[in-house]
Amino acid sequence: MKILANDGISKSGINALHAAGFEVFTVHVAQQQLQNYINENSIEVLLVRSATKVRKELIENCPSLKIIGRGGVGMDNIDVDYAAKKGIHVINTPTASSESVAELVFAHLFGGVRFLHDANRNMPLEGDTRFKDLKKSYSGGRELRGKTLGIIGFGKIGRQVAKIALGCGMKVIASDHQVGQADIKLTFFDGQDITLQIKTAPIDTLIQKSDFISLHVPAQSGYIIGKDEIEKMKTGVGIINTARGGILDEVALIEAIDEGKVSFAALDVFENEPTPSIKVLMNEAISLSPHIGAATIEAQDRVGIELAEQIINLTTKA
């Protein structure tokens, strides 16, 4: 069986597939050439991340496809329902990158409350001439301990964010229309563990009570956070989006930053990805990263292994 990992796959995943007798292609094929490549090489398994789109037309015109795999959680770049109608298995790796995304949230959060994202821009430029001025500018930082973190979307990633928040001494409030409550297990080095139960709350309550808000929902048809929601937030709130572009109104966000309603924001995903708005990129109150939430060595290793295991299980059953 031939597998095309069009957006890449970890070495451990390749090794597992090779050991099971699969032929793995890791060449990246441009979107417009993908259909021809799949058909010319009789590809039966197509693996993608977020870059490659697997739409109805591609599925319809590639009769050799038996499995489509998404290395990650969201599958909004795949026409899942249509693939299922054609008898194609669609798989993903919902747990593999949870820890990595959660850690990025806190990388941005710690940086945001201490202005590190902006200090790292200005220190190389002016640190030798305006050291005291910069020190004064960045001396109004805040601690996370004792603050309330609102988590919108309480799936696997949201729960990992909650674990880190609790470890930092933060209060956690979560909202999810599909989850009523969730167990958060904290594990210690000596094998001991504590399980805490967090009940979700209405999103309006979360918006009003949170000092910081982190988004963890799939792609939506409209904004989860827009002008009206921001107006209900605490003055000085921080907003972090490592989920999907298009769920946070970036125009309303910048307006709120300019007005002092939002103290800082952190974005790993963007409305106009991969060409984010210049106003977003140049705003000194926004901490930025280029959609790297799941891009750790450990997460990609887990993604590759999980995909390999699912493919092997599906083909063995067949």
Query: Active-site positions?
Result: 244, 273, 291
- The angle subtended at Cα 189 by Cα 183 and Cα 194, nearest 5°, is 25
* CA 215/CA 240 separation, integer angstroms: 6
DSSP secondary structure letter of residue 78: B
The answer to whether residues 170 and 145 touch, using CB atoms and an 8 Å cutoff, is yes
End-to-end CA distance of the chain: 12
- The angle subtended at Cα 202 by Cα 271 and Cα 258, nearest 5°, is 40
* CA 124/CA 115 separation, integer angstroms: 15
Residue 282 neighbours by CB under 8 Å, 6+ apart = none
The distance from CA 152 to its chain's CA centroid, rounded to whole angstroms, is 13
The DSSP annotation for 91-134 comes to: EE-TTTTHHHHHHHHHHHHHHHHTTHHHHHHHHHHHTTTSHHHH
